[in-house]
Amino acid sequence: MPSNKSVSDAPIVQFTNCRILREHRLQREDLWVREGKILNPEKLFFDEKGSADVQLDCKDSIIAPGFIDVQINGGFGVDFSLATDDFKSGIDLVSQKILSHGVTSFCPTLVTSPPSVYHQVLPQISVRNGGAHGAGVLGAHLEGPFISKEKKGAHPEHCLRTFEAGAFQDLLATYGSLDCVQIVTLAPEMRRSSEVIRELTKRGICVSLGHSVANLSQAEEAVQHGATFITHLFNAMLPFHHRDPGIVGLLTSDKIPAGRRVFYGMISDGIHTNPAALRIAHRAHPKGLVLVTDAIAGMGLAPGRHTLGQQVVEIDGLNTYIAGTKTLSGSVATMDTCVRHFQEATGCSVETALEAASLHPAQLLGIEHKKGTLNYDSDAEQGCHISLSRCPCGAESSGQRSNPGIPRHCWSFVPLPCMGIESTELEI
């Protein structure tokens, strides 16, 4: 039966024989999509008297929300912290390449840089939806330069800054513009940081705490002023101590304002965080965990020398270091790798692992009404198709916590073909 065209002439695509990740569990339902939006089949049938123009058999695969990477410094030879004349083409390249790893939205991240770099790069970043051309851009994540010298990590010390009497005006002068900025990472122990956090929050910008020597009290004060995120938990901050757990203590703090949730980023690449620490964080605060790649320009390329803003970095296997040192400098992990490692390290359900890379970052940014879920009227461009076919080992997921593990060779990823994205399959 042809679909009713009274509402729209666009074709209706029906995904059949699939399991949809919706309401925190895998549900055996069909998925209906039109013009990039997920349809309510009841309204389609009864109000529009419509039906599918195209049916796609998913062969018992999972359809899950696309991943959202809120901390990615570059990849495939592109460094977001380098001011170049063809910066926009670099954004386009990364946007297209990360689709095949399940990422459908991301925040291009700039590490600590001179003001001239921010002034040249930020005007070239614009918020845009995803689709066949690549993953959507949600806005920039500015990691620094208002961070601690003691916990600078891979950030160049000569570019670090403090807040002077003008505080927020200092920040504006450094960045030049906040028009495309989604997240700012800063150290909350800095003088006048509370004023800056309040001003950023007023403008709808997410404030993240990181590269910091803050104690728990200082971190709690920052949250009370509006901070909602922690940049790569455990890395570049004071280690957990039982008398003062520092920023890590926010995961179980009783000083978080009512109705507020603190989220925290985790680089689940098997290098930045020991699996035991990953399990501790997840069990302490599972609903706040946000998987990030912290990927650098060398992601997707062979080992060798690359850049991270003002620094030269070396890739040695899966390790990335500031050249000539053993200081970690981002990762070369893709998001699908991080999701898989997280699931294996924690023993969590498939649903939990997928939501840590989709629903949770959407909630962090306050965009869960359109991304991070497969609810009706959500953006279908964010969807990804995860094949969990039966393989020679006989393993198959039930989606239950009693069966938490899926061997990695059973996982494959295919972007939703209804979005015009080329269907490429790879191991995750």
Per DSSP, the residues of 188-240 read: TTSTTHHHHHHHHHHTTPEEEE-SB---HHHHHHHHHTT--EESSTTTTBPPP
Q: Find tokens 């997840």 and name the residue.
A: 282
- Cα distance between residue 296 and residue 121, in whole Å: 17
What are 105's strand-pairing partners? 68, 136
Q: Residue 389 burial (CB < 10 Å; 0-12/13-18/19+)?
A: exposed
Computed on alpha carbons and rounded to an integer, the radius of gyration of the chain in Å comes to 21
288 by Cβ neighbours in 10 Å (0-12 / 13-18 / 19+) ranks as buried
Please, what is the Cα angle at 312 between 306 and 313, to 5 degrees?
A: 60
What's the burial of 133, exposed, middle or buried (CB within 10 Å: 0-12/13-18/19+)? middle
Alpha carbon separation from 4 to 13, 44, 48, 52, 355 (Å, rounded): 13, 9, 6, 10, 34
Alpha helices (H) along 237-329: 275-284
How many whole angstroms separate alpha carbon 3 and alpha carbon 45? 9
Both ends of the chain: CA-CA distance in Å?
38
Q: Which residues are catalytic?
A: 294
Tokens read off for 274: 């020991």
Phi, psi of 34 (to 5 degrees): -145, 130
